Amino acid sequence: MFIVAVMAVTIGLTTPVYSSGYPPVNVDMQARQVSQHVYYVQGVPRVATANAGFVSNSSFVVTEQGVVVFDTLGTPSLGAKLLEVIREITEKPIVRVYISHYHADHMYGNQIFHDLGAEIVAPEGAVRYLSGEDSQRRLKERKISLTPWVNESTRVIHPDRYLYSEEVFTLGGVTMRAVNVGSAHSDGDMILFVESDSVLLSGDIIFENRIPFLGSSNTREWLEILDQLADSDATTIIPGHGPAAVDPGKIVSLTRRYLSYVRQVMATAVEEWVPFDEAYENADWTDFIDYPAFIEANRQNAYGVYLSMEQESLE
């Protein structure tokens, strides 16, 4: 088994391969090989609009019969650059794209691979995002915050099909299992286990080296999934944000500790009828305050959990 990041294929900062006309993006994107067939590119651990939108991870599985991609990054330009990275390694066709969840930083590159003819697969819960107002509101905002890489030519690509439970398939001798894990970090989350290589692609079920974005997440379900992943047979896990790791128990630690603490503090506040502002100010955030995205995300995260704990108390 390869060790994480045993190989890094560096793509230059100004590699000009944007023949399709997408605005070039000046970011450092490297393919890191973690096993015989699995590679990933790692975004910086910052908020969604930093680093030209390159803040999340994308993985791809290279087989003799084609390539499977997991997440396509946060702009069409990043998706085009991801394709360049893949083409540095293989000319095999992109057969399928699995989208871990429909948040903009993981799927705005979809149109690159859709236009190549790849099948786009998403967890069933993504339909709620796509059928609501959030989809268009987010696109409108990103045309401002990530211009020129998100622009009038950017399209939110709907999946060719939804995954309702799980599926196992073999491509070029490599067996993979995609699993819809339900609503945890988002309205619908999916993981991909490359069984032949014992590599797990977790999407945003796991954040490493930065504070998670909670939004309207179901933190109770999320914690249950993390407990299962901590006991995974995977020898390598690639999170949605941050570096890959070979210790499943360790890599879920930050996300699990953070979710558990926010839930504990806000559940106590709800039980004792403490207003949110007071509960937030009295909480001890020492263990998390130095992580990237804390300042931008933590208060909003905590407020969302406060509201969800009120709802849980009624149940």
For the chain, what are the domain ranges? Answer: 7-250
- 208 pLDDT band, cuts 50/70/90, is very high
Decide if pLDDT at 20 tops 80: no
Q: pLDDT band for position 216 (50/70/90)? A: confident
Report residue 29's pLDDT band, with 50, 70 and 90 as the boundaries: very high
Instruction: Report the share of the chain in percent with pLDDT over 70.
Output: 94
Q: What are the angstrom distances between the C-alpha of 192 and each of 234, 266, 315? A: 11, 32, 32
The CATH architecture one would assign to domain 7-250 is: 4-Layer Sandwich (3.60)
Q: d(Cα 134, Cα 138) in Å, to the nearest integer? A: 6
Token pair, residue 229, equals 């992943």
Nearest one of 254, 215, 52 to 129, comparing CA atoms: 215
Q: What is the mean predicted confidence (pLDDT) over 179-188?
A: 97
Name the residue among 75, 86, 100, 101 with its Cα closest to residue 22. Answer: 75
Kindly state the tokens that stand for 153. 């030519």
Please say if the pLDDT value at position 66 is more than 50: yes
pLDDT score at 2: 41
Whether 8 has a pLDDT exceeding 50, the answer reads no
Between 15-29, 31-45, 119-133, 173-187, the lowest mean confidence (pLDDT) is in: 15-29
